[in-house]
Structure 1
């Protein structure tokens, strides 16, 4: 009997399979972590994970990803209302990419364009996730809602300015919008490059 080896077509398929597996491994290793803001090349709304970690203590080794320590205490910082804060309830950031609304029980911000992977929200289609973030006195979370249309006539809240309405403080920064509950300290930051809750 003649001995049969691997044909060139079989060898080519094995090589292609190996390259595909290697590509998948590289993608999984380098896939961005969107639980904290990441650097963005978009300028005005760039946010870095390092800045987020320095501001709210993210990266502490307490194992709590939801803003609570193992003993049930919140990691949310005490909120100091800046002197000269405005009293706007609807505003947009200078970039025009983010706008927010403060009501009696929540502060909600909407982002039109973002570069982070949207979070998974139970009962929400993936294409309707990532655009809206909300904080109440109980905590901050993404909210289900499809691609937004910006309302007309919003007041621009300049970078480094803040507004207070009821229990909520929102700040306009070059690293995005930061909104928090004054009484609980819970809040979120939203920017083109990423988001974080605290």
Structure 2
């Protein structure tokens, strides 16, 4: 068959080769698109970025990435996930709240999730304020994960969820919102 080119192929073989070429081109285009090869304007137009996650192919909404942060004072740190927020405070001057059935300590850990706001009972040593790899959330800035938003202020951290339910936590006091 050498030297005959495509002219020597049967019509069925030519159709098979044409379908193969089309499939290879489609595969290359899909791989390029899935790897974020949208060019320099992809990030500006909402395309994938280096920190983005690939969208699931089954149409489900992707789970937001967890965020861990610490306030500039280093006294308060929080972990945020799609399920809620947990904040820890190292030093406080308010009276520790009572937690029913708790024989450990209270006042260092607060949680906000679909069930609402609550102080946690800590049976052992209070956990570290900041999770490993936590970023610094500058005063006046906020961050959001799913339905949860936390903002850093010189007066502490304020975290809210759906309907404005949340808390404000500072060295001197805390309050439940709204």
State the distance in 1 between where 2:114 and 2:127 align.
Answer: 25
1:98 equivalent to 2:85? Answer no
Note the C-alpha offset of 1:138: 3.5
Larger of the two Rg values belongs to structure: 2
The TM-score, its normalising length taken from structure 1, stands at: 0.52
Give CA-to-partner distance per residue, 1:59-90, whole Å, 9 cap, x none.
xxxxxxxxxxxxxxxxxxxxxxxxxxxx8711
What is the match of residue 139 of structure 2?
A: 159
Q: How many residues align?
A: 110
Give the 5 Å matches for 1:17-56.
none
RMSD: 1.6
State the distance in 1 between where 2:166 and 2:80 align.
Answer: 13
Note the C-alpha offset of 1:177: 0.6
1:134 equivalent to 2:111? Answer yes
- 8 Å contact 2:141–2:151 — kept in the other structure? yes
- 8 Å contact 1:88–1:164 — kept in the other structure? no
The structure 1 residue matched to 2:171, chosen from 163, 185, 192, is: 192
In structure 2, stretches of 5+ residues that fail to align are 1-64
What is the match of residue 100 of structure 2?
A: 122
The TM-score, its normalising length taken from structure 2, stands at: 0.58
State the distance in 1 between where 2:150 and 2:170 align.
Answer: 13
State the distance in 2 between where 1:177 and 1:188 align.
Answer: 8
- 8 Å contact 1:129–1:143 — kept in the other structure? yes
What is the match of residue 121 of structure 2?
A: 144
State the distance in 2 between where 1:195 and 1:107 align.
Answer: 15
Note the C-alpha offset of 1:185: 1.2
State the distance in 1 between where 2:102 and 2:115 align.
Answer: 21
In structure 1, stretches of 5+ residues that fail to align are 1-86
- 8 Å contact 1:137–1:186 — kept in the other structure? no
